[in-house]
């Protein structure tokens, strides 16, 4: 038994982890890696795996059941549409689309073709995330005052030079919407929306954005965003790629009977460790039995895409004054450290407030707002 025939598009960087995951499932007889597509060529692959420069060539030459797409953001929609119209189901990396228009376009293709599309928000398949959502629904934290998502990450110059689209809002006239909120720390926002039960397009009432940058890039590297969901819950996102040290991102639920901290990368609630389902395995199970629900169908990323749209349409990120930034390293190791950013992120999280509302020294009042 070889299982579903799987192709991976984009096999370098994070895409290599998808190749390894298919190999793991192949060893269990649940999948077969039949081909990959990447303009940079193949990597360390089994000899029987065919290598193509693009997905169109791959689909013309071999039959596949599932296509895993791990490519630049602006290519997600055309590649996913190509795969589904060829009769394949899709695992699509996050963020699924760069705009609401693209989200609606892709949703229409899913409906038209009847294919399954799973989005790569791994934290949505974490037992920790689902357990905390159940605790909230059961009232174990009391009345929910709000949810905050905190990210204190480090990204060096090499991160923004790894690809032409990195750090861009648009590239060659096409929306990319890269940035701290929408790409590296996207899981935090998506997990917060899931905890509130507000994953759909109509589950978000309004979004306020404050986007800043210390790096010489187009996109944001330090931002606060406040989402108000249709049920009235404030979700405050406070993130940076300019921290002193790289810490795991957390989602914090503030309740009248206490608070809970989800460290989604490690599947922790507080100090308690939980397991995590695999999104490709879940997609394969759904293919075998449509009664098995997908963890992250495209429709369940509508609320997150509303946030992407708000960032896309916001004013360009405000450059942080040089006197507030200390630079370390040289060349590709060079990176900015934003003065006291950790303190301001923690305060924004605790108060569910934007940086400008708490007086962060680099902040100006509401550069962008969308509702």
> What are the pLDDT tens digits along the chain (371 aa)?
468 999 999 999 899 999 999 999 999 999 999 999 999 887 778 889 999 999 999 999 999 999 999 999 999 999 999 999 999 999 999 999 999 999 999 999 999 999 999 999 999 999 999 999 999 999 999 999 999 999 999 999 999 999 999 999 999 999 999 999 999 999 999 999 999 999 999 999 999 999 999 999 999 999 999 999 999 999 999 999 999 999 999 999 999 999 999 999 999 999 999 999 999 999 999 999 999 999 999 999 999 999 999 999 999 999 999 999 999 999 999 999 999 999 999 999 999 999 999 999 999 754 444 44
Quote the CA–CA distance of 268 and 127 in Å, as a whole number: 9
Phi, psi of 134 (to 5 degrees): -65, -40
Nearest residue to 121 (alpha-carbon basis) of 262, 4, 295: 295
Q: How far apart are CA 172 and CA 110, in angstroms?
A: 27
> 4-122 maps to which CATH number?
3.40.50.720
The CATH 3.40.50.720 portion of the chain extends over: 4-122
Phi-psi region of 278 (alpha: psi -120 to 50; beta: other; left: phi over 0): beta
Interior/surface letters 338-353, b for 16+ CB within 10 angstroms, e for the rest: bbebeebbebbbbebb
Residues near 103 by beta carbon (within 8 Å), at least 6 away in sequence: 96, 97, 201, 298, 301, 302, 305
The CATH superfamily holding the domain 123-276+297-370 is Dihydrodipicolinate Reductase; domain 2 (3.30.360.10)
- CA torsion angle for 217, 221, 224, 230 (degrees, to 10)? 80
Calculate the alpha carbon distances from 21 to 64, 105, 316 in Å: 17, 29, 38
Residues of the chain with CATH 3.30.360.10: 123-276+297-370
């Amino acid at each position: 038994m070889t299982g579903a025939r799987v192709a991976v598009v984009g096999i370098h960087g994070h895409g290599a982890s998808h190749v390894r995951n298919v190999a793991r499932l192949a060893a269990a007889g649940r999948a077969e890696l039949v081909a990959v597509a990447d303009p940079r060529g193949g990597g360390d692959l089994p000899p029987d795996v065919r290598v193509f420069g693009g997905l169109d060539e791959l689909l013309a030459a071999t039959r596949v059941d599932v296509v895993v797409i791990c490519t630049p953001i602006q290519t997600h929609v055309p590649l996913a549409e190509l795969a589904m119209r060829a009769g394949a189901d899709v695992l699509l990396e996050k963020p699924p689309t760069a705009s609401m228009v693209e989200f609606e376009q892709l949703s229409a293709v899913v409906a038209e073709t009847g294919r399954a599309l799973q989005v790569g928000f791994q934290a949505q398949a974490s037992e920790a995330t689902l357990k905390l959502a159940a605790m909230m629904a059961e009232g174990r934290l009391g009345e929910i005052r709000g949810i905050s998502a905190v990210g204190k990450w480090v990204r060096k110059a090499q991160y923004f030079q790894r690809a032409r689209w990195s750090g861009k809002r648009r590239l060659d006239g096409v929306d990319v919407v890269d940035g701290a909120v929408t790409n590296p720390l996207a899981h935090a926002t998506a997990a917060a929306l899931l905890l509130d039960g507000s994953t759909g397009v109509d589950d978000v009432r309004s979004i306020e954005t404050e986007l800043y940058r210390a790096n010489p890039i187009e996109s944001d590297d330090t931002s606060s965003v406040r989402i108000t969901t249709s049920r009235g819950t404030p979700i405050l996102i406070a993130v940076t790629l300019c921290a002193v040290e790289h810490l795991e991102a957390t989602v914090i639920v503030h309740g009248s009977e206490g608070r809970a901290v989800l460290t989604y990368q490690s599947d922790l609630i507080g100090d308690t460790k939980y397991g995590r389902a695999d999104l490709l395995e879940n997609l394969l199970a759904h293919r075998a039995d449509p009664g098995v629900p997908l963890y992250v169908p495209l429709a369940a990323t509508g609320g997150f895409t509303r946030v992407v749209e708000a960032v896309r349409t916001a004013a360009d990120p405000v450059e942080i004054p040089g006197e507030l930034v200390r630079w370390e390293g040289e060349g590709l190791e060079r990176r900015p450290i934003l003065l006291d950013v950790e303190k301001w992120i923690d305060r924004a999280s605790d108060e569910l407030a934007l940086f400008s509302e708490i007086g962060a020294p680099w902040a100006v009042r509401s550069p962008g707002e969308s509702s």
